Amino acid sequence: MSKGWWEDGYCTAGTLDGVYYECTQYEIQTDFSAQAMLTEAVLRAVDNQAVFEALGTTTTTGYWLSDTLYAEPDQHPNKTPLEGFPNISQSIRGKPAEKIIKYWYTGEYEAYTPVYTD
């Protein structure tokens, strides 16, 4: 998250940490903990408030279409990928944040055990 938002549907060429890459998405380090901590923090804040007064808000409504967390190999800027980069997407599908949401809504604790599929 310290690098900002990156396209998750296809490759984009650019510079990352002073190095040029044809597909910067392959160079992004995946860290699901930031998304999980934000999800937990938002739910706790909502739970502790009786009334809300906000000037505006934003949230993601995307939910990745498949269970995979792997990026499709050999993507190129001029090729339409099948999977894109689910590991860097805003979607919570298959990530720890999904388990947090489930717990808050159902009370059922489920340990995070990632499933990597091809």
* Residue pLDDT, tens place only, 47-94: 888 887 777 666 666 778 777 777 767 766 556 556 778 888 888 888
CB 117, CB 86: distance < 8 Å: no
Whether pTM > 0.75 for this model: the answer is no
Please tell me whether residue 41 adopts helix, strand or coil conformation: helix
Question: What pLDDT is recorded for position 69?
Answer: 77
Question: Does pLDDT of 12 surpass 50?
Answer: yes
9 domain residue, yes or no = no
Could you tell me if residue 2 is inside a domain? no
Number of domains in the chain: 1
pLDDT at 56: 67
Is 54 among the domain residues?
yes
Domain range enclosing 68: 14-106
Record the tokens describing residue 103, joined without a space.
């717990």
How far are the Cα atoms of 15, 79, 87 from residue 42, in angstroms, in the given order?
32, 37, 21
